[in-house]
Amino acid sequence: MSKVTIRDIRAILTAPAGINLIVVKVETSEPGLYGLGCATFAYREKLVAAMVEDYLKPLLVGRDVANIEDLWHLMNNNSYWRNGPVTNNAISGVDMALWDIKGKMANMPVYDLLGGKSRQGVAVYRHADGKDLDTIVENVQKYMDQNIRHVRIQWGGYGGQAGSINRPEGSPQGVYYCPDQYIRNTLRLFEYVRGKLGDEVELLHDVHERIPPIDAIRLAKDLEPYRLFFLEDPLPPEQADWLKILRQQTSTPIAIGELFNNPKEWDYLIANKLIDFIRVHISQIGGITPARKLAIFCEQFGIRTAWHGPGDVSPVGHAANIHLDLVSHNFGIQEWAGISEELHEVFPGSPVLKDGYVYANDKPGLGIDINEELAAKYPCETKVTMWTQTRLPDGTAYTP
């Protein structure tokens, strides 16, 4: 085959599950040969699409699809200012698509291109929530009955289920919560679930950056008797210096990273062993190329991967997660929000969950396709994001 070049790049916006998704399609000079990548930044989807089609497409059309490493650095450096979520997600869409193309050209799955499987299936964790403790226990038990042994438990969502909150007059609208109530209820939650279900299930929890650093340290210490698999995002990236103090105070494993964009946000945490799991949103850091390097870097320091896998990752992004999970020796766990029937129809070849493990198919590339005609039936909706408008009881805006 002669040199294959990039012929066209398009952003496909779709929302089959009611969440905005952005998928990039890279078409080549070889008829019928194309690749797909995830560029999902669900709350700024139009900006990512414009970045892909107005800036990356003119930069890349006509270039050799084989040179993924060079093209990644070209995309990263071309805007001069770099490491932002819009730019990184756009780069990710192209990068994943190029890996998809390379696998198709080699007639190999991406996991084989990256060195082959370290495991046959990928263990996942699911989310269990509820308005009361008994409902949460029932939801955890349902997953245990499916042979899932890792479950993240929350009581009333991020920030907890607050009782009555006395807000000052004239306070703006928002999602109000009380950090003190949240901390107390979280300890009650773990005591109750462990008491009902014992030690046969690995329990996780997401603080989602909702409490001050000193309270995060206290919570991590108080949770030690319940033997968490990990405590997620006890601190925001802006307060990451506190992780050194937290590490000195508690043995509760720490997972962090879904908001990371810039390598300087994680390199010192890893090199100083201040976290136990890296859980970046792969498209947020620029795709498979930097994520593979990050996994290898973490391996040198005994830190495991736990890539971000919520509903605002497209099935193409989930497939990229799974291919990396299969390869990485230091794989820890994979977050799995599930793929709905509608998503499976729009994205044939999506990874599947069976008996507690997620499996990729053995097709070349990422093994996943998109039905563009069906995707068009689920348009994205651009609106003001509400869940991130979090506020303390006195009305102060706080990290979501």
- Residue 190 is which amino acid? F
Distance CA 208, CA 57 (A): 36
For residue 54, the one-letter residue type is D
**Smallest Cα–Cα separation from 88: which of 265, 213, 247?**
265
To which H or E segment does residue 334 belong?
A: strand 334-335
User: 9 — phi, psi (to 5°)?
Assistant: -135, 130
Distances (CA, A) of 383 to 30, 43, 44, 132, 378: 39, 8, 10, 31, 15
Q: Which residues are catalytic?
A: 158, 208
Alpha carbon distances (Å) from 91 to 38, 53, 134, 279, 366:
9, 11, 44, 19, 17
Give the C-alpha separation, 182 to 388, whole Å: 17
How far is 349 from 344, CA to CA, in rounded Å? 7
248's CB contacts (< 8 A; 6+ apart) are: none
Six-digit token pair at 82?
């770099």
- Residues 400 and 390: their CA atoms lie apart, in Å, by 6
CA distance 320 to 287: 8
Q: How far apart are CA 384 and CA 92, in angstroms?
A: 25
Asked whether 335 and 309 are in contact (CB, 8 A), the reply is yes
Q: Is 91 helix (H, G, I), strand (E, B) or coil?
A: helix
Residue found under tokens 């009955």? 145
The two beta strands, 334-335 and 304-305, are unpaired
Q: Return the bridge partners of 176, or none.
A: 391
